[in-house]
């Protein structure tokens, strides 16, 4: 039991301990401050600290009000539940194991692997919601979910049953959690390269998805109204279908749209936690889940607008993928291009008056952000104006490039979003593209059969000179689409590892 009050207690008119309620309220305030801090790279560290403090308050409050060694009377005075299924030592050991695992992963994980790590953690949140829901179903008395049973036919053998409202909350929590788990597993496999990033389009997938979702809703209603003897097959079917729809919703989504998927799954994990919070009567879970769910949904909506996608199609699955699309996954026939050297780039960069840098996932792979910052510093010392242009879906996760640039201590005032800087490319002497592809691909504006069609991209073709750093001409972007920018008259391809090339440019500038 992870709460301080239960529906059963509320039904009998028992009040919540005011100190416990105040602690959870303070925890919620810290979570709100955390979200506010995370809205900007300049305050993100402070936001993280606020979130850590809020979670610490919530966890300590829950543990204090559920000491296994307090008496039943003391527990009743606190309006708490005295667990008889585990000792405090076992709980602390479990917390310690989780902390060690979390710290180890956080220290070892590379920034390039951060998107798939987020997807993996989302899957754990969803699975936790499913397990808590099933635990509440199998042992409702321990969770305070039992209410007096109305007469069902002539069966009076069970005087108590799970309340209908609790069943609805339980069903929603399990369903959303299962969708989050299975969807996040697919996202993890795609982001980590263990599964193709290309859309997997099933015949009549929208009809299948809508039918499955309708069945989940019907099963939830039947589960809420069923007698205790009839609920087991219903909740099993509900869980299985929810796991299935999670897979079906995510596998049709292509790699270019995966950042929105990560954001949407984040929202799902929040709503799953909120639903479980209602089941457990836990205010902290409700507040935290609602904050995560709503903020994730808002971020997904903003990103959909930035990519010219439909928000409804994100929820339905399979957005950004068309059965008739014919260009995804294959590069076009090789065309002539101009290849340059670090010395060529250095000479033209120091002659420029304005340079706009567009970073992408390739920069993250090469860990070139520090060398890039050094190059920008040298150019600014020579009187060149340097700005950074960040696309909303650059990399494979929202904010991926912002975090990398912040790690390299790039001044926040030099970093601009797409809508704030796109008009400046016409006045730029150099557009310096390092590891980006899809976000500068004009096919998004011209090729209706392209999987990225409709996504706003940077107008790098308007710059006087374009430098494009990529490993080789053989590969295409994450969306699997060739890029006409490679072959423009003003484009010079710098084919090399991003970090190595920038370091060579720095040496040439010096």
What are the φ and ψ backbone dihedral angles of 387, each rounded to 5 degrees? -130, 155
In sequence order, the 6+-apart residues with CB closer than 8 A to the CB of 387 are 354, 355, 356, 357, 414, 415, 416, 421, 424
SS3 355: strand
Structure-block tokens of residue 377: 């510093």
Q: Is 438 a catalytic residue?
A: yes
- The C-alpha torsion from 85 through 269 and 225 to 16, rounded to 10°, is 60
In sequence order, the 6+-apart residues with CB closer than 8 A to the CB of 10 are 281
Residue 152: DSSP 8-state: B
Assess contact for 382 and 444: CB atoms under 8 A. Answer: no
Catalytic residue among 77, 155, 438, 510: 438
Strand partners, 355: 386, 430
Between CA 462 and CA 429 the distance in angstroms is 10
Burial letters for 1-29: b for 16+ Cβ neighbours within 10 Å, e otherwise?
bbbbbbbbbeeeeeebbeebbebbeebbe
- What is the Cα gyration radius of the chain? 27
Residue 308: DSSP 8-state: T
Give catalytic residues, as residue numbers: 438
């Amino acid at each position: 039991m992870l709460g301080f009050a239960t529906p059963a207690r509320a039904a009998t008119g028992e009040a919540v301990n005011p100190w416990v309620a105040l602690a959870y309220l303070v925890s919620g305030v810290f979570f709100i401050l955390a979200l506010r801090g995370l809205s900007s790279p300049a305050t993100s560290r402070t936001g993280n600290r606020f979130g850590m403090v809020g979670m610490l308050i919530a966890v300590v409050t829950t543990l204090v009000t559920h000491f296994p060694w307090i008496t039943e009377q003391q527990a009743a005075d606190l309006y708490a539940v005295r667990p008889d299924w585990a000792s405090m030592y076992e709980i602390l050991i479990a917390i310690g194991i989780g902390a060690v695992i979390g710290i180890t992963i956080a220290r070892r994980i590379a920034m390039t692997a951060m998107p798939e790590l987020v997807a993996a953690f989302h899957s754990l949140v969803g699975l936790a919601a499913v397990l808590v829901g099933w635990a509440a179903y199998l042992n409702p008395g321990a969770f305070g979910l039992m209410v007096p049973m109305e007469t069902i036919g002539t069966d009076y053998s069970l005087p108590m049953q799970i309340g209908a409202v609790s069943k609805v909350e339980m069903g929603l929590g399990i369903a959303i959690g299962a969708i989050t788990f299975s969807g996040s597993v697919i996202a993890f496999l795609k982001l980590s390269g263990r599964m193709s990033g290309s859309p997997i389009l099933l015949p009549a997938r929208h009809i299948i998805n809508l039918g499955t979702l309708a069945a989940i809703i019907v099963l939830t209603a039947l589960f809420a109204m069923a007698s205790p003897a009839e609920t087991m097959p219903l909740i099993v079917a509900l869980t299985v279908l929810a796991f299935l729809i999670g897979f079906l919703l995510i596998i049709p989504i292509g790699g270019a749209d995966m950042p929105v998927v990560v954001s949407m799954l984040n929202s799902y994990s929040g709503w799953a936690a909120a639903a479980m919070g209602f089941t457990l009567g836990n205010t902290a879970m409700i507040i935290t889940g609602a904050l995560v769910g709503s903020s994730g949904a808002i971020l997904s909506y903003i990103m959909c607008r930035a990519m010219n996608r439909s928000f409804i199609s994100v929820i339905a699955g399979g957005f950004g993928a068309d059965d008739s699309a014919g260009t995804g996954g294959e590069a076009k026939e090789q065309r002539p291009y101009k290849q340059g050297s670090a010395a060529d780039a250095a000479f033209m960069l120091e002659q420029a008056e304005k340079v706009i840098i567009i970073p992408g996932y390739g920069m993250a792979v090469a860990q070139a952000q520090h060398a890039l910052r050094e190059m920008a510093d040298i150019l600014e010392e020579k009187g060149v104006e340097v700005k950074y242009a960040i696309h909303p879906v650059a990399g494979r996760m929202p904010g991926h490039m912002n975090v990398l640039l912040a790690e390299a201590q790039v001044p926040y005032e030099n970093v601009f979003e797409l809508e704030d800087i796109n008009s400046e490319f016409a006045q730029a002497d150099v557009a310096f593209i390092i590891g980006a592809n899809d976000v500068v691909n004009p096919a998004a504006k011209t090729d209706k059969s392209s999987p990225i069609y409709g996504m706003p991209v940077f107008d790098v073709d308007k710059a006087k000179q374009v430098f494009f750093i990529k490993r080789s001409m053989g590969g295409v972007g994450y969306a699997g689409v060739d890029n006409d920018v490679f072959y423009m008259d003003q484009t010079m391809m710098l084919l090399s590892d991003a970090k190595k090339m920038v370091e060579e440019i720095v040496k040439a500038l010096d």
